[in-house]
Amino acid sequence: MNTIPDGAWPTMLTPYTDTFNVDYDALPSLVEWYRAGGASGLFAVCQSSEMFFLSLEERVALATATVKLRGKGLAVIASGNTADRLDAQIEEIKRIASTGIDAFVLIANRLAAPDEPEGVWLKSAERILREVPGIPFGIYECPYPYKRLMSPELLGWCASTGRFLFLKDTSCDAAQIEAKLDALRGTGMKLYNAHSPTLLASLRAGGSGYSGVMANFYPGLYAALCSCWKEDPAFAERAQSLVGTVALLERQAYPVNAKAFLAAEGLPIRRSCRSRDAHDFTPAQELELAQARAVFGPIVASLESEALARNGGRR
């Protein structure tokens, strides 16, 4: 694949059984919900998937299952190089990349320690590209165990290799995003913003879409903004105001609250998580979520209908 589609890329959740095994029976409903919501692709085996709490075998199996379920027109990328040693990460990359995903997304903070300069990161990346040939890559500025943001200069190097297609930006800073987009301009590497309040600004600056946790709540809203912002500026402003507001739900006990939301939407998803105790999602937060669904649901549906009409019924 020489490129990946623009638009909304949900960071996939991992459903679990009551005994905390991966619930592969629930996975088809989840993938179909993302598809019905207008997702352009799925970011599997990521932080929302609780990748640091999955064994390598589980990461491989989850990526394999997602690829099999995606059907026609839905791209799948995946991460999962969680090991400390680079040689172990290379083995993880090879195993997960062999599942048929469209690109493997490198966790930015695994290629160098917090106190190491970008030169160390670059040497690690060069070795990965050399030892894993023929595989397209992406980069995820994952906040755990520490956040390493990519500089425009290092991104420019990544883009110059022709091997990188995707950046999930977590800087939450419009100025930094613009600088990164300047470095990527004219290359095949695209930027997808994880920060809702700066989403429209990043699209106007040349960004290609959204990849963040809120697409686990309202994928259709993010897909609508990504598809219609250029043709209808007034619509874009309304949609941006809404995505910036609904993103307040991120401050709850995520990802437990996202699973509670999906269950309320009728999906067979339990609140079980490995990364967080389900009891962290308090009764007060549950009330907040229920009331947010009641208020935002009709508004989101209206905006999605507008976008569908403008796109001739296509998400």
Per DSSP, the three-state class of 194 is: coil
Q: Looking at residue 300, what is its pLDDT?
A: 95
Run of H or E including 48 = none
Quick check: pTM over 0.85?
A: yes
Q: What is the pLDDT of residues 105-153, one digit of tens each?
A: 999 999 999 999 999 999 999 999 999 999 999 999 999 999 999 999 9
Per DSSP, the three-state class of 118 is: helix
Question: Which pair of tokens denotes residue 76?
Answer: 């799948």
Q: Looking at residue 246, what is its pLDDT?
A: 96
Find residue 77's DSSP bridge partners.
43, 103
Q: What is the pLDDT of residues 286-308, one digit of tens each?
A: 999 999 999 999 999 999 999 98
Residue 170 and residue 139 in contact, taking contact as beta carbons nearer than 8 Å: no
Nearest-10 crossing angle of helices 233-246, 219-228: 150
Q: Looking at residue 281, what is its pLDDT?
A: 98
Q: Looking at residue 253, what is its pLDDT?
A: 98
Q: If you ran DSSP here, which 8-state letter would residue 149 be given? A: P
Q: Looking at residue 310, what is its pLDDT?
A: 81
Q: What is the rounded distance in angstroms from the CA atom of residue 283 to the CA atom of residue 243?
A: 24
Q: Looking at residue 184, what is its pLDDT?
A: 98
Residue 214 and residue 246 in contact, taking contact as beta carbons nearer than 8 Å: yes
Closest to 174 measured CA to CA, from 148, 151, 205, 153 = 205
For the chain, residues with pLDDT lower than 50 are none
Question: Which pair of tokens denotes residue 215?
Answer: 């697409």
Find residue 11's DSSP bridge partners.
43
Q: What is the rounded distance in angstroms from the CA atom of residue 269 to the CA atom of residue 272?
A: 8
| Helices of type H across 98-141 | 118-131
Q: Looking at residue 311, what is its pLDDT?
A: 77
Region for residue 162 given its phi and psi (left: phi exceeds 0; alpha: psi -120 to 50; beta: otherwise): left
Q: If you ran DSSP here, which 8-state letter would residue 251 be given? A: G
Question: Which pair of tokens denotes residue 303?
Answer: 């905006």
Q: Looking at residue 202, what is its pLDDT?
A: 98
Q: Looking at residue 72, what is its pLDDT?
A: 84
Q: Looking at residue 242, what is its pLDDT?
A: 97
| Cβ density class 163-200: b for 16+ within 10 Å, e for less | bbbbbbbbbeebebbbbbbebbeebebbbbbbbbebbb
Q: Which amino acid is present at 152? A: P
Identify the structural domains of the chain with CATH numbers, from first to last.
7-217 (3.20.20.70)
Q: Looking at residue 172, what is its pLDDT?
A: 98
Closest to 78 measured CA to CA, from 11, 125, 165 = 11
